[in-house]
Amino acid sequence: MSERRLIAIAQGTPASDGAGVKLLRVIGTEELDHIDPFLLLDEFRNEDSKDYVAGFPDHPHRGFETVTYMIQGRMRHQDSVGNSGLLIDGALQWMTAGRGIIHSEMPEQTDGLIWGYQLWVNLPAKDKMTAPRYQDIPPEAIPVARSEGARVKVLAGEWNGVTGAADTLWPIEYLDVSLEAGAGFTKEVPEGHSLLAFVYRGALLAGSAEGEHEIAERHLGVFAREGDSLSVKAGAEGAGFLLLSGQPIGEPVARMGPFVMNSREELMRAVEDYQAGRLAT
Protein backbone atom coordinates (compact mmCIF):
# COMPACT_ATOMS: atom_id res chain seq x y z
CA MET A 1 0.00 0.00 0.00
CA SER A 2 1.06 3.59 -0.58
CA GLU A 3 0.27 6.24 2.03
CA ARG A 4 -1.73 9.40 1.43
CA ARG A 5 0.31 12.56 2.04
CA LEU A 6 -0.96 15.72 3.68
CA ILE A 7 -0.98 18.52 1.09
CA ALA A 8 -2.75 21.42 2.85
CA ILE A 9 -4.06 22.59 6.21
CA ALA A 10 -7.02 24.99 6.23
CA GLN A 11 -8.42 27.05 9.08
CA GLY A 12 -12.14 27.67 9.30
CA THR A 13 -13.70 31.11 8.90
CA PRO A 14 -16.20 32.57 11.42
CA ALA A 15 -19.55 32.97 9.67
CA SER A 16 -23.24 33.45 10.27
CA ASP A 17 -26.09 31.57 8.59
CA GLY A 18 -29.80 30.98 8.93
CA ALA A 19 -31.33 33.69 11.14
CA GLY A 20 -27.98 34.65 12.63
CA VAL A 21 -26.48 31.40 13.88
CA LYS A 22 -22.77 31.89 14.57
CA LEU A 23 -20.61 29.08 13.22
CA LEU A 24 -17.20 28.12 11.90
CA ARG A 25 -17.22 27.49 8.13
CA VAL A 26 -14.51 25.00 7.22
CA ILE A 27 -15.43 24.15 3.61
CA GLY A 28 -17.29 26.68 1.48
CA THR A 29 -14.95 29.62 2.13
CA GLU A 30 -12.85 31.87 -0.12
CA GLU A 31 -9.82 29.77 0.84
CA LEU A 32 -11.54 26.42 0.29
CA ASP A 33 -14.61 26.67 -1.95
CA HIS A 34 -15.30 22.93 -2.17
CA ILE A 35 -13.51 19.59 -2.40
CA ASP A 36 -15.42 17.31 -4.76
CA PRO A 37 -17.89 15.89 -3.70
CA PHE A 38 -17.97 17.95 -0.46
CA LEU A 39 -19.54 21.40 -0.85
CA LEU A 40 -19.64 22.73 2.70
CA LEU A 41 -18.69 21.84 6.27
CA ASP A 42 -19.91 23.99 9.17
CA GLU A 43 -19.22 23.59 12.88
CA PHE A 44 -21.74 25.14 15.28
CA ARG A 45 -20.35 25.07 18.80
CA ASN A 46 -21.97 27.63 21.08
CA GLU A 47 -22.59 28.06 24.79
CA ASP A 48 -24.43 31.40 24.47
CA SER A 49 -28.01 30.88 23.33
CA LYS A 50 -28.15 34.23 21.53
CA ASP A 51 -25.56 32.87 19.07
CA TYR A 52 -27.94 30.22 17.76
CA VAL A 53 -31.47 30.57 19.20
CA ALA A 54 -32.97 32.04 15.98
CA GLY A 55 -31.91 28.85 14.20
CA PHE A 56 -32.52 28.07 10.55
CA PRO A 57 -36.15 28.94 9.66
CA ASP A 58 -37.85 27.58 6.54
CA HIS A 59 -35.43 27.41 3.62
CA PRO A 60 -35.28 25.37 0.39
CA HIS A 61 -32.72 22.92 -1.01
CA ARG A 62 -32.29 21.16 -4.34
CA GLY A 63 -29.59 19.02 -5.95
CA PHE A 64 -27.51 17.77 -3.00
CA GLU A 65 -27.60 16.25 0.49
CA THR A 66 -27.29 17.82 3.94
CA VAL A 67 -25.78 15.73 6.72
CA THR A 68 -26.33 16.93 10.28
CA TYR A 69 -24.33 15.28 13.08
CA MET A 70 -24.94 16.32 16.67
CA ILE A 71 -22.13 15.89 19.20
CA GLN A 72 -24.10 17.61 21.98
CA GLY A 73 -27.42 19.35 21.87
CA ARG A 74 -30.62 18.87 19.91
CA MET A 75 -31.87 19.93 16.49
CA ARG A 76 -35.62 20.11 15.92
CA HIS A 77 -36.67 19.87 12.27
CA GLN A 78 -39.79 19.91 10.11
CA ASP A 79 -40.45 20.21 6.40
CA SER A 80 -42.94 21.14 3.73
CA VAL A 81 -44.25 17.61 3.22
CA GLY A 82 -45.08 16.87 6.84
CA ASN A 83 -41.90 15.28 8.19
CA SER A 84 -40.74 16.35 11.65
CA GLY A 85 -38.38 15.07 14.31
CA LEU A 86 -35.79 15.81 16.95
CA LEU A 87 -32.10 14.99 16.67
CA ILE A 88 -30.58 14.40 20.12
CA ASP A 89 -27.03 14.19 21.44
CA GLY A 90 -25.01 11.89 19.16
CA ALA A 91 -27.69 11.56 16.46
CA LEU A 92 -27.21 11.77 12.69
CA GLN A 93 -29.54 12.99 9.95
CA TRP A 94 -28.78 12.32 6.30
CA MET A 95 -31.21 14.34 4.20
CA THR A 96 -31.35 13.94 0.44
CA ALA A 97 -32.89 17.15 -0.90
CA GLY A 98 -33.02 15.76 -4.44
CA ARG A 99 -35.57 17.58 -6.61
CA GLY A 100 -36.53 19.83 -3.72
CA ILE A 101 -37.58 20.28 -0.14
CA ILE A 102 -38.30 23.19 2.20
CA HIS A 103 -37.41 22.64 5.84
CA SER A 104 -36.45 24.31 9.11
CA GLU A 105 -33.82 23.39 11.69
CA MET A 106 -33.98 24.84 15.20
CA PRO A 107 -31.09 24.10 17.61
CA GLU A 108 -31.44 23.57 21.37
CA GLN A 109 -28.78 23.23 24.07
CA THR A 110 -28.23 20.30 26.39
CA ASP A 111 -26.17 20.97 29.52
CA GLY A 112 -25.39 24.47 28.32
CA LEU A 113 -23.89 23.59 24.92
CA ILE A 114 -24.94 23.16 21.31
CA TRP A 115 -22.25 21.40 19.27
CA GLY A 116 -22.63 19.77 15.90
CA TYR A 117 -21.70 19.72 12.22
CA GLN A 118 -23.46 20.16 8.93
CA LEU A 119 -21.92 18.71 5.80
CA TRP A 120 -23.18 19.27 2.25
CA VAL A 121 -22.57 16.41 -0.17
CA ASN A 122 -23.03 17.02 -3.88
CA LEU A 123 -25.03 14.64 -6.05
CA PRO A 124 -24.26 13.65 -9.65
CA ALA A 125 -26.55 14.95 -12.39
CA LYS A 126 -28.38 11.62 -12.58
CA ASP A 127 -29.47 11.93 -8.92
CA LYS A 128 -30.07 15.67 -8.54
CA MET A 129 -33.80 15.34 -9.19
CA THR A 130 -34.32 12.18 -7.17
CA ALA A 131 -37.14 12.00 -4.63
CA PRO A 132 -36.30 13.67 -1.30
CA ARG A 133 -35.70 11.43 1.71
CA TYR A 134 -34.57 11.57 5.33
CA GLN A 135 -32.49 9.12 7.29
CA ASP A 136 -32.91 10.04 10.97
CA ILE A 137 -30.42 7.83 12.81
CA PRO A 138 -30.46 7.78 16.63
CA PRO A 139 -27.13 7.53 18.49
CA GLU A 140 -27.69 3.90 19.51
CA ALA A 141 -27.99 2.93 15.82
CA ILE A 142 -24.54 4.28 14.93
CA PRO A 143 -22.03 1.41 15.16
CA VAL A 144 -18.83 1.88 17.13
CA ALA A 145 -15.60 0.06 16.24
CA ARG A 146 -12.52 -0.14 18.45
CA SER A 147 -8.85 -0.97 18.17
CA GLU A 148 -5.92 -0.25 20.46
CA GLY A 149 -6.21 3.39 21.51
CA ALA A 150 -8.98 4.16 19.01
CA ARG A 151 -12.75 4.46 19.17
CA VAL A 152 -14.51 5.03 15.84
CA LYS A 153 -18.16 5.89 15.23
CA VAL A 154 -18.94 4.74 11.70
CA LEU A 155 -21.51 7.19 10.38
CA ALA A 156 -21.15 6.09 6.76
CA GLY A 157 -18.78 3.78 4.93
CA GLU A 158 -16.70 1.10 6.64
CA TRP A 159 -13.84 0.66 9.09
CA ASN A 160 -12.34 -2.51 10.55
CA GLY A 161 -15.15 -4.62 9.15
CA VAL A 162 -17.89 -2.41 10.64
CA THR A 163 -20.40 -0.87 8.21
CA GLY A 164 -21.80 2.60 8.83
CA ALA A 165 -25.32 3.61 9.73
CA ALA A 166 -26.22 5.73 6.69
CA ASP A 167 -27.18 4.52 3.23
CA THR A 168 -25.48 6.85 0.74
CA LEU A 169 -26.38 7.49 -2.91
CA TRP A 170 -22.73 8.26 -3.75
CA PRO A 171 -19.55 6.56 -2.41
CA ILE A 172 -18.95 8.52 0.82
CA GLU A 173 -17.29 7.61 4.09
CA TYR A 174 -17.79 9.60 7.30
CA LEU A 175 -16.11 8.58 10.55
CA ASP A 176 -15.87 10.20 13.99
CA VAL A 177 -12.51 9.05 15.37
CA SER A 178 -11.32 9.42 18.96
CA LEU A 179 -7.67 8.58 19.70
CA GLU A 180 -5.81 8.30 22.97
CA ALA A 181 -2.55 10.22 23.36
CA GLY A 182 0.00 8.97 20.84
CA ALA A 183 -2.36 6.34 19.39
CA GLY A 184 -2.27 5.60 15.67
CA PHE A 185 -5.08 5.23 13.16
CA THR A 186 -4.95 3.59 9.73
CA LYS A 187 -7.53 3.17 7.01
CA GLU A 188 -7.68 1.99 3.43
CA VAL A 189 -8.97 4.66 1.04
CA PRO A 190 -9.71 4.06 -2.65
CA GLU A 191 -7.16 5.61 -5.01
CA GLY A 192 -8.43 8.94 -6.34
CA HIS A 193 -11.01 9.59 -3.62
CA SER A 194 -10.92 12.94 -1.80
CA LEU A 195 -9.74 12.61 1.80
CA LEU A 196 -10.12 15.17 4.61
CA ALA A 197 -9.69 15.23 8.39
CA PHE A 198 -11.21 17.96 10.59
CA VAL A 199 -9.70 17.98 14.09
CA TYR A 200 -12.19 19.05 16.76
CA ARG A 201 -10.12 18.03 19.82
CA GLY A 202 -6.39 17.85 20.47
CA ALA A 203 -4.05 17.51 17.52
CA LEU A 204 -3.35 15.02 14.74
CA LEU A 205 0.04 14.22 13.23
CA ALA A 206 0.23 13.38 9.52
CA GLY A 207 3.04 12.91 7.04
CA SER A 208 3.64 15.22 4.08
CA ALA A 209 6.32 15.36 1.39
CA GLU A 210 8.36 17.57 3.77
CA GLY A 211 7.92 15.43 6.90
CA GLU A 212 5.47 15.19 9.77
CA HIS A 213 2.99 18.03 10.32
CA GLU A 214 0.49 18.80 13.06
CA ILE A 215 -3.16 19.43 12.25
CA ALA A 216 -4.29 21.55 15.19
CA GLU A 217 -7.71 21.76 16.78
CA ARG A 218 -10.41 23.31 14.54
CA HIS A 219 -8.21 22.90 11.44
CA LEU A 220 -8.83 20.76 8.36
CA GLY A 221 -6.18 18.51 6.84
CA VAL A 222 -6.44 17.88 3.09
CA PHE A 223 -4.71 14.80 1.71
CA ALA A 224 -3.47 13.96 -1.78
CA ARG A 225 -5.63 11.72 -3.96
CA GLU A 226 -2.66 9.52 -4.77
CA GLY A 227 -2.23 6.47 -2.54
CA ASP A 228 -4.58 3.91 -1.07
CA SER A 229 -4.09 4.16 2.70
CA LEU A 230 -4.11 6.75 5.48
CA SER A 231 -1.86 6.60 8.54
CA VAL A 232 -2.04 9.29 11.24
CA LYS A 233 -1.50 9.49 15.00
CA ALA A 234 -2.69 11.60 17.89
CA GLY A 235 -0.64 14.24 19.63
CA ALA A 236 0.30 14.31 23.31
CA GLU A 237 -3.25 15.13 24.43
CA GLY A 238 -5.03 12.72 22.12
CA ALA A 239 -7.26 13.67 19.21
CA GLY A 240 -10.84 13.73 18.06
CA PHE A 241 -11.47 14.20 14.35
CA LEU A 242 -14.02 13.78 11.59
CA LEU A 243 -12.68 11.77 8.66
CA LEU A 244 -14.35 12.32 5.29
CA SER A 245 -13.64 10.52 2.05
CA GLY A 246 -15.59 10.43 -1.17
CA GLN A 247 -15.39 9.68 -4.86
CA PRO A 248 -15.13 12.91 -6.88
CA ILE A 249 -18.11 13.46 -9.17
CA GLY A 250 -16.16 15.43 -11.76
CA GLU A 251 -19.12 17.43 -13.10
CA PRO A 252 -19.65 21.21 -13.32
CA VAL A 253 -20.83 22.76 -10.04
CA ALA A 254 -23.32 25.64 -10.27
CA ARG A 255 -24.45 26.90 -6.89
CA MET A 256 -26.69 29.68 -5.69
CA GLY A 257 -27.40 29.75 -1.97
CA PRO A 258 -29.44 26.62 -1.14
CA PHE A 259 -29.40 25.21 -4.69
CA VAL A 260 -26.57 23.19 -6.26
CA MET A 261 -26.97 22.11 -9.88
CA ASN A 262 -24.80 21.65 -12.99
CA SER A 263 -25.67 24.83 -14.89
CA ARG A 264 -27.00 28.36 -14.43
CA GLU A 265 -30.13 27.41 -16.39
CA GLU A 266 -30.88 24.64 -13.87
CA LEU A 267 -30.36 27.10 -11.00
CA MET A 268 -32.82 29.54 -12.55
CA ARG A 269 -35.35 26.73 -12.93
CA ALA A 270 -34.91 25.85 -9.24
CA VAL A 271 -35.55 29.49 -8.25
CA GLU A 272 -38.63 29.63 -10.47
CA ASP A 273 -39.97 26.36 -9.05
CA TYR A 274 -39.44 27.65 -5.51
CA GLN A 275 -41.16 30.96 -6.20
CA ALA A 276 -44.06 29.17 -7.88
CA GLY A 277 -44.49 26.70 -5.01
CA ARG A 278 -43.42 23.71 -7.12
CA LEU A 279 -40.14 22.90 -5.35
CA ALA A 280 -41.41 20.38 -2.83
CA THR A 281 -44.30 18.90 -4.77
**Alpha helices (H) in 133-217, listed in sequence order:** none
pLDDT at residue number 176: 98
Q: What is the pLDDT of residues 176-193, one digit of tens each?
A: 999 999 999 999 999 999
All structural domains of the chain: 6-275 (2.60.120.10)
pLDDT at residue number 46: 84
Confidence (pTM): 0.94
Q: What is the pLDDT of residues 133-175, one digit of tens each?
A: 899 999 999 999 999 999 999 999 999 999 999 999 999 999 9
Amino acid at 35: I
Angstrom CA distances, 86 to 17, 75, 167, 196, 213, stand at 20, 6, 20, 28, 39
**Helix, strand, or coil (residue 81):** coil
pLDDT at residue number 277: 86
* Ranges in the chain, pLDDT < 50: none
Angstrom CA distances, 245 to 9, 78, 228, stand at 16, 29, 12
